[in-house]
Chain A
């Protein structure tokens, strides 16, 4: 000890953790990888489409699909942070859409008379939440992987949807429902328009013109508001509430969370109900917007929701991820999905090629970010 370095004697273990400056702190945010991927995609698509993707109509169409993705990906993200998967999201969308459209066309079950958008929605929501609870309860009680349990429900619900359609409707499609959003405010909040003021303002400022020089687009889809509400509520929940801490704790290490008194089973069941809720909102927006339903609706949406959550920086094994990252992921994914419409030169099937490439790039970036934050776990 005679050779002791005087500089080392005053050092403590805590000094080894370099907090860094403001930029370093920003670069350690878990969303940073997702953010850069999103910026690159926005710029690339704006250039490749000659700005068409960001003109009034392009923005409306893009945000419509981004909002759809965002709604289900938020639920999938929270569930993944808690360490579980839900592969039944797509089938749940199909089931909820079928249920609402069928009640609107054929009336409420058990001869309760004709349905209104309100009764159709809430009866459907009650069913989907019950199914979500059942999925969660099965996972928690059986100890089986949620992958398997929800895979079973993927088949079960899709099959059930088709059977119900054929038995009652004689066809797997319903189209030509009345345009409920014109009369019912409740249908309007799902299928109507939002942010009309923004487009009015755009017109007033001299943009948003059609060929005749009149106002071109009147507003965004109502689902954009649902997306912002759900994502905002989820972001606050995760960052600032006790429930958020429980969700992170459940997904990081379930046994240590349980040892500290976190009700891990309740947390997981509630989140399976949340994904069911998000699927139902997704379906309601679709039904009240287009006044149609189809047994194939929502097909593969569960995988897209998981992919968006992962692009947004959510860790597949749980315990890590943010809602803001998933917002960036949804924007990225939605733009890529829609890109083929704005860039006419390319084949529509390039969509999946892009998605695959973006998914891999984002995951590599996110891995790097996560290792920096968590010390290489």
Chain B
């Protein structure tokens, strides 16, 4: 393992394999995350990123291989199990309900309430206060926790989903393409949020992205996937810009891509 960190990782994945019938989605993935670190998981479409996070968050079960949490082997039968083990996944759709208020979204399914369930009395003030405080902690001061999520910006929604995952005990935070489908400024907001969570020091972040610029801005460690396998990994210091771009393209050289593009251009001209 090229890992020089001596502290125990929060989560370690060993030889993880996932087959869907005859199709091998993941082929022997090794991977680990440490508290206070951002681990960028990069790869093109179809590289196996989604399958990997679905296994880590308990949606799929691996065909073989192990997941270790704090050195102990863990098995997830459902997303609930993974969540209980401290793995919080923030999906691209964020699992937010746009018509409901910020507070109601924050506590959706895990309301603070008193009395016999499910007709128990909601502690709305307490929930609103916690929502506000947790959002402030990672950098967004919402003026009104009773405003509908539909009125928030994409960056604010992302922050809400992250704050919620942390509040409900996530020690490994999986962010699935958090900066895609956002404007430039909101992307920066999300990266700042990631940085603040990182600085807490007790949470490991898995940052899945297409965007090598964003990865380089916040990540401490990189893992590159292509066709279901790890094709490269390293710390921020290990990797230079060209390496990253090379690995992002699934191992192809940028110069190769340029040649291919040139060939297409020439053949197009020849045809016309």
Name A's B-contacting residues (CB within 8 A). 12-15, 17, 19, 237, 240-246, 248-249, 252-253, 255-257, 259-262, 315, 319-320, 373-377
Contact check, B79 vs A259: say whether CB atoms are below 8 A apart.
yes
Q: Which chain A residues border B104 with CB–CB below 8 Å?
A: 245, 248-249
Pick 14 A–B contacts, CB within 8 A, sort by A.
A13-B140, A13-B156, A14-B141, A14-B143, A17-B151, A241-B118, A242-B111, A253-B98, A256-B93, A256-B94, A256-B108, A315-B99, A374-B99, A375-B151
Most buried by A among B96, B97, B140, B156: B97
In the bound complex, CA of A140 to CA of B100 (Å): 23
Contact check, A253 vs B97: say whether CB atoms are below 8 A apart.
yes
Cβ distance A310 to chain B, nearest Cβ, rounded Å: 16
Name B's A-contacting residues (CB within 8 A). 79-80, 91, 93-100, 104, 107-111, 113, 117-122, 124, 140-144, 147-148, 150-153, 155-156, 189
In the bound complex, CA of A286 to CA of B178 (Å): 57
Known: A19-B144, A243-B119. A256 touches B97 (CB 8 A): yes
Interface of B is mostly: loop
Most buried by A among B99, B107, B109, B147: B99
Contact check, A260 vs B117: say whether CB atoms are below 8 A apart.
no
Contact check, B148 vs A375: say whether CB atoms are below 8 A apart.
yes
Cβ distance A254 to chain B, nearest Cβ, rounded Å: 10
A12, A241, A243, A373: which contacts B141 (Cβ < 8 A)?
A: A12
Cβ distance A275 to chain B, nearest Cβ, rounded Å: 18
Known: A13-B140, A319-B97. A246 touches B119 (CB 8 A): no
Contact check, B148 vs A374: say whether CB atoms are below 8 A apart.
yes
- Residue in chain B with minimal CB distance to A256: B95
- Residue in chain B with minimal CB distance to A266: B118
Contact check, A249 vs B150: say whether CB atoms are below 8 A apart.
no
Cβ distance A323 to chain B, nearest Cβ, rounded Å: 15
Q: Which chain A residues border B80 with CB–CB below 8 Å?
A: 261
Contact check, B97 vs A248: say whether CB atoms are below 8 A apart.
yes
- Residue in chain B with minimal CB distance to A240: B122
A245, A257, A315: which contacts B111 (Cβ < 8 A)?
A: A245
Cβ distance A164 to chain B, nearest Cβ, rounded Å: 35
- Residue in chain B with minimal CB distance to A370: B99
In the bound complex, CA of A374 to CA of B147 (Å): 8
